Every structure is written in structure tokens, then in C-alpha cells.
Amino acid sequence: MSEPLFRFGVVADTQYCDRDRGQNFSGSVKRWYRPSLEALKTIIARWKHSCSEGKGPKFILQLADLIDGYSFEDGHREKNLTAALDAFDELPGVEKHHMVGNHEMACFRPDELLEHGFGLDGKLYYSFQPHKGWRIVVLDSMGVSTVRPGCNKFTAPPEGDVGYAEARKMLMENNENLKGGEATWYSGINWQKGLKPGTEHYMPYNGALGQTQREWLQRELEEAKKEGEKVIIATHVPILPDFISDAMLDKDVTLAMLKEAGNVVAFFAGHSHRGGYAEEAGTAHVTFMSSLEIDPEVAKECGATISVYPDRIEVEGHGAQTSHTIRLT
């Protein structure tokens, strides 16, 4: 088999915190918090070994929710984030692209995350060209959201917080359960009760790009088209998931933008822990699995190595992560 044009690694939703076991909001799914960090270290060790053989990833896309929101409640946000970020130090010389998810936003302000090495050049959304003819676009899918440090309440927007205000308006207009504006984050309220088909994603744990970022994305896609580049988009919240409640608040307009551009070959996201795969209008939507909800006795790691060839993209899943072949036309 010929060598790929370039390789990179992907990992999503480690959601580490210094706790043992837990469960999701409904209590239907078990979670392994400390073992999830060990799973991250295992896949990093895999990439480190491949680097020693000259076949390592050129960069890593860490698709957010690196730590869990409990880190704020426990008073360990700095400790937990440092422990998770330090795991990547085993890959010197490999670029790391850390994205922002709802759990980071429940623990830190955006400016604090930038100080910790998230984003690039002071921005949480940006693009880079890893190889001639290819562009990676990193989006901030929590740029417009109601998730803030210690977000126990869904209340009036903090003064001057435009992103909060915009997201709150979208949620209250489209989700009857949130119209009172006081739905607590961990209240046990059934946010999905009575929602009409197509509105299931109006959940307070999802976010949106917002108009400013969408306009920037439009310019990026147009520029890539002029340069004859294929585009891979990476972010936290999907726009075309198998689990329809886990999607961007502005997914419909964003998906329409991608269809019109016609040069986005893959859309990589996390957020929906069980993962998923779908194809829409020439774009492969891969939602990567989380190690958080995988029994460590069943799988010791969860992530993927991506190999990009002229005619295809090979998603090689490790541990619990499934593999996929994306054919390029």
C-alpha cells in the first residue's frame, strides 16, 4: 500500500475528572472518569510508538470535552485540565489542536482556555493547510451557547455576553420546556418533552456557530474552492448525527452552507458519545466515540488514526472506535 499524503490522530470526549464511576443525566449509561484518562494515555502511547517508526501523526485533533463539568463543582478544574493536557506532552513535535466543548465551557471562560493552549493564535476557530490541496477548518461549535462556568441556572444573559443572549433566544423560541428561562442545568427537567420533529436539538448543552463565525466559514470555503482544496471540518458538536438531540443549534443553515460549497469531504465531531457515521451531499459525517462510557475491561483506548490518500480517507479506529473508508470523487 502506498504512503498517505499525511496522517493525523483524532480523539474525542475524554471527559476526565478525579472521580471513579458515574452515570449520564438519565442514569441509563455508566461512565468511567479516571479510566477515561488512562484510555487517552494509551492511544497517545500508540501514536508515540508510530512516530518512532516514522509513521506517526502530523497533528492531533482533540475534539473537546477533555475534562468533565464536574471538575468545576469539585474545585479541581485546573488540576484536571492540567493532567489531561499533560498527557499530550508525550508527543513532542506533533501539533495539537484542542477544541472547546460544553464541558470546557462549564469550567472555564474562553479567554482562560486560550491561555491553556486551546485554539490557535488567540482564536478558537481557524484553518490550516497540512498538505497541498487540503485545508483543515476548526470550528468553535460552542461560540454561541448558554454554557458558562458553574452553569447551574438558565437565566438572563450576563451583561454584555452576546453569545449567551443569542443562544438563550434560540432555545426559548424553539423549546417549550425552556420558555420560562429558569430551567436548571441538573434539575432533571425533561428538555425533550413534546418537541416537534426537527427541533430535538434545541438543548441547553448544545451550541451554535453564530452569524459572525458562519460568515467567516463561508469565506474559508470560498477561498478553498478557489485554491482547489478539499476541506475537512473539525469541531465538537455535530450537524448531522445519528442521535438527533446532539447537534448544533444552527445546524440547518450550516449544513446548507456545506452543501452549497461542495468541497467539504469530511465533517469530524464528537459530543455524541456512541459515535456515528452518515453521508450527505458528498460529505462524510463522522462522530467519534468517547472512552468515558466504555468499560475499561472491554476496551483500553478509543480514538482513530486518519490517513489521507488522493482517492480516499481511511479512518482507522483503535479500541472501541469503529473504522471507516471515505471515498473521494
pLDDT at residue 184, rounded to an integer: 47
- Tens of pLDDT along the chain (329 residues) come to 589 999 999 999 999 999 887 766 655 678 889 999 999 999 999 999 999 999 999 999 999 999 999 999 899 999 999 999 999 999 999 999 999 999 999 999 999 999 999 999 999 999 999 999 999 999 999 999 989 887 665 556 677 888 988 988 898 889 888 876 654 454 567 888 888 888 999 998 999 999 999 999 999 999 999 999 999 999 999 998 666 789 999 999 999 999 999 999 999 999 999 999 999 999 999 999 999 998 888 889 999 999 999 999 999 999 999 999 999 97
pLDDT at residue 117, rounded to an integer: 97
pLDDT digits (tens, 9 = 90+) for 70-124: 999 899 999 999 999 999 999 999 999 999 999 999 999 999 999 999 999 999 9
pLDDT digits (tens, 9 = 90+) for 145-163: 989 887 665 556 677 888 9
Beta strands in the chain (DSSP E): 6-11, 21-23, 30-32, 59-62, 95-98, 126-131, 134-138, 230-234, 264-269, 276-280, 283-287, 302-308, 312-319, 324-327
Cell of 15: 471527559
Range of the domain at 137: 6-327
User: Within 13 Å of residue 198, how many CA atoms lie on the same side as its CB?
Assistant: 1
Domain count, the chain: 1
Is residue 171 one of the residues assigned to a domain? yes
Cell of 162: 452576546
pLDDT at residue 201, rounded to an integer: 93
The secondary structure of 46-97 as a DSSP string is HHHHHHHTT---SEEEE-S--B-THHHHTT-HHHHHHHHHHGGGGSTTSEEE
CA atoms of 252 and 258, how far apart (whole Å): 10
CA atoms of 92 and 85, how far apart (whole Å): 13
Q: Strand 126-131 to strand 134-138: parallel, antiparallel, or no bridges (unpaired)? A: antiparallel
CB proximity list for 82: less than 8 A, separation 6 or greater:
none
SS3 category, 108:
coil
Amino acid residing at 217? L
Is residue 170 one of the residues assigned to a domain? yes
Using CB atoms within 10 Å of the CB of residue 193, give its burial: 0 to 12 exposed, 13 to 18 middle, 19+ buried. exposed
Is residue 175 one of the residues assigned to a domain? yes
pLDDT at residue 245, rounded to an integer: 87
Is residue 1 one of the residues assigned to a domain? no
Is residue 173 one of the residues assigned to a domain? yes
Cell of 35: 479510566
Cell of 315: 479512518
The secondary structure of 205-229 as a DSSP string is T--B-HHHHHHHHHHHHHHHHHTT-
- Give the residue from 115, 58, 59 showing the smallest Cα distance to 82: 115
Specify the CATH number for the domain of residue 11: 3.60.21.10
CA atoms of 229 and 231, how far apart (whole Å): 6
Question: Taking a C-beta distance cutoff of 8 angstroms, is the pair 32, 297 a contact?
Answer: no
Global pTM reads: 0.94
- Give the residue from 64, 72, 73, 71 showing the smallest Cα distance to 96: 64
Using CB atoms within 10 Å of the CB of residue 65, give its burial: 0 to 12 exposed, 13 to 18 middle, 19+ buried. buried
pLDDT at residue 181, rounded to an integer: 60
Question: Taking a C-beta distance cutoff of 8 angstroms, is the pair 67, 203 a contact?
Answer: no
Is residue 274 one of the residues assigned to a domain? yes
CA atoms of 99 and 136, how far apart (whole Å): 13
Is residue 143 one of the residues assigned to a domain? yes
